[in-house]
Amino acid sequence: MSKFFIFLTSLLFISSSQAVDFLKLFPNKKPIIAAIMVEHLEKDSYKKTEAWLLDQARIASQGNMDAMLIEFRGGGILSRDIPNWELEMMSQLLKKVIAEFPDLVIGEEILWHFPGSTIKLAKMSGAKFVRIDFFSDDVIADGQHVPIDPKAIIKYRNQLDDTNIALLTDIQVKYSQMIDKKIPISASAQKAQSLGSDGVIVSGTKSGSSPDTDRVRLARKGVDGLPVVIGSGFSVDNAKDILPLVDAVIVGTSISVKTGGPLLPEKIKTLMSYVRDYRKKSM
């Protein structure tokens, strides 16, 4: 088990959860967030990675997207500690994007399950939101029982004295299996909110796979005013059915060459044209 995770669970101070209004980060309703993946980061490839990431941000910005979720490949579930030098490199990349593209709201995550390092990175870089795949559900992923401690995650965010970091958390996340398969997604959503999530993410069974609209509706029923975000499978083809049901969208595969990027300007243009028309009609 990661030393950082053990540290999180051993925090002795007491602090209450303070909700962050995720949607207030955006001037537009139904914000659309481009998701891209930064593969394993190495010191000797930093400049190349920086140039690629800035190019992706430029495409998202010119396509009038609202935000970017930058996902860093960390490793297997709590397979290692994220060293300070690597966090610093990630932070410098994020700071560069934030400085050059102030029109984009920047969020981040370290995959596959590094919640403490993800929150620390947001504090270091100024990212406005994070995504945590495993937060409140008891699941199996990659053949192991995923260790979770939502209270420790909230406490750590508060310990950093930065409750302006919005915490988006997946419920019944893709690529995982619930220990208790009878738990409805509405109950998972309710639990996540009660434990301090600032928005729940509903996804399909894998990247690029859209969740059934009934699951999105059920997730909505489980929360009290908390944003519901779609986390996979969104496209211009299903936007008519899904966009009315959610508060925000994380989209990657349908606007990219492949899951994780690179982004395709023409696909973004088509998607955002539909979104702009939808916003005008729903005002």
pTM of the complete model beyond 0.85: yes
Q: Are 119 and 162 in contact (CB under 8 A)?
A: no
**What letter does residue 190 receive in the DSSP assignment?**
H
User: 27-282 maps to which CATH number?
Assistant: 3.20.20.70
pLDDT at 205 (0 to 100): 76
pLDDT at 283 (0 to 100): 74
Instruction: Give the pairing type, strands 166-170 and 139-141.
Output: unpaired
Q: What is the 3-state secondary structure (H, E, C) of 92-144?
A: HHHHHHHHHCCCCEEEEEEECCCHHHHHHHHHHHCCCEEEECCCCCCEEECCE
User: Does residue 54 sit in helix, strand or coil?
Assistant: helix
Q: Going residue by residue through the chain (283 aa), what tens digit of pLDDT does each one get?
A: 444 444 444 333 333 455 799 999 999 999 999 999 998 888 888 999 999 999 999 999 999 999 999 999 999 888 888 999 999 999 999 999 999 999 999 999 999 899 999 999 999 999 999 999 999 999 999 999 999 999 999 999 998 866 789 999 999 998 999 999 999 999 999 999 999 999 999 998 767 678 899 999 999 999 999 999 999 999 999 999 999 999 999 999 999 999 999 999 999 999 999 999 999 998 7
pLDDT at 5 (0 to 100): 45
Residue 227 to residue 154: CA distance in whole angstroms: 18
pLDDT at 18 (0 to 100): 59
